[in-house]
Structure 1
Amino acid sequence: MRPYLPRYSILFILSAAISFANFGCADPKLSQCKKIIDIANDVATETQNLSDSGSNTDPQAALQVASAFEQAAQAMETLESKDEQLLDYQAGLIQVYHSHSQATRQFVEAYEKKNRGAAEAALKTVREAGNLEQEVVNGINNYCNVN
């Protein structure tokens, strides 16, 4: 007696085998690039939505933005790579996300205490982190050949 496999089981097994074969042949650099870029894109979208593209002045929304940056930093920290250049970019984004988060929290605190000097200092740090973020993202895009 011959074992019976339904047609969909055979198709599933073949699909899985093809997927594993393709995954095994994938360029590790491209895979690692995609993971970094996905986290960067996700946090950019989330923070833009939370801040209503910068028009939301609610301190609680700003704290949610800070939390989103912190979560992105944590997600970035879990990624593993053997590519030194990608590790540098990854470390740069982690630094940027921590800076954004910390400066945003400092800004909210200064805003609530009506401390203009501290608020301006925090905004300067946010701008600097934003500039560094743009440099790192441009570097990743160039390195990973993303248009």
Structure 2
Amino acid sequence: MSVLHKYSVLAPVSLSIALLITSCSEDKVSQCQRLIRVVNAGTSLIDQNKGTQVITSIQLSKDLEFVTKSIGELNLTDPKLKEFQSGFVKIFQNLSQAIAKAGKALGATKTAQASASGREKIQKARAEIDSTLTTAATTVGKQSDTLVNQMNKYCNEPE
């Protein structure tokens, strides 16, 4: 094998390794973009499904579980972004659980019979739905707003 041929093989291999290494080490901006993209997907699911029926609520809860899992699997390396990631995982978990609970309560109203006990069951379910969703929306909304503002501020800081 000639020296020239040896270098013609080594150069592309070295270049490939160098590109692989640099592409694997993401910067803060690209990590921010990935986290923001998944969080926005979850937020958009919530916006699209506000005030929907039982089946949709239960599906929304499952979709939010998937978003939660997706956020958790982002493999971020930036320590501050990992904190934001953990915060968003908790937010989407809590929201998913609240929506699932409200969906089940709404489902209970569908099986209530037209009687005094049935009306009582419906009133109890409505109170549970209102309480669960109002509390969750208020708490999670505040936490989310705070976290989004902090993350936006951090992601817009120069490296």
TM-score range, shorter chain: 0.7 to 0.9
* Residue in 1 that maps onto 2:150: 139
Q: 1:105 aligns with which of 87, 97, 100?
A: 100
Give, as a single letter, the amino acid of the residue that structure 1 aligns with 2:83.
Answer: D
TM-score in terms of structure 1 length: 0.72
1:119 aligns with 2:134: no
* Residue in 1 that maps onto 2:112: none
* Residue in 2 that maps onto 1:90: 85
TM-score in terms of structure 2 length: 0.68
Secondary structure of 2:130 counterpart? helix
Contact 1:96/1:129 (8 A) holds in 2 = yes
Contact 1:59/1:108 (8 A) holds in 2 = yes
CA change 1:143–1:82 in 2 (3 A) is same
> d(CA) in 2 for partners of 1:143 and 1:105?
33
Matched residue pairs, number? Answer: 127
Q: Deviations over 1:4-61 (max 9, x none)?
A: xxxxxxxxx9xxx7xx48x649862111111100101112223323x1xx3x431112
Secondary structure of 2:156 counterpart? coil
1:81 aligns with 2:91: no
* Residue in 2 that maps onto 1:29: 28
Tell me, which stretches of 5 or more residues in structure 1 are unaligned?
A: 1-12
* Structure number, greater radius of gyration: 2
Q: Quick check: 99-108 or 109-118, which moved more?
A: 109-118
Tell me, which stretches of 5 or more residues in structure 2 are unaligned?
A: 1-11, 109-121
Q: Deviations over 1:70-127 (max 9, x none)?
A: 1111001111223221111000000000001000011112223332332233111233
* Residue in 2 that maps onto 1:72: 67
* Residue in 2 that maps onto 1:63: 58
CA change 1:31–1:116 in 2 (3 A) is same
Contact 1:99/1:126 (8 A) holds in 2 = no
> d(CA) in 2 for partners of 1:44 and 1:68?
11
Percent of counterpart pairs with the same letter? 23
Secondary structure of 2:77 counterpart? coil
CA change 1:40–1:142 in 2 (3 A) is same
Output aligned runs, 1:8-47, within 5 Å. Answer: 20=19, 24=23, 28-47=27-46
* Residue in 2 that maps onto 1:9: none
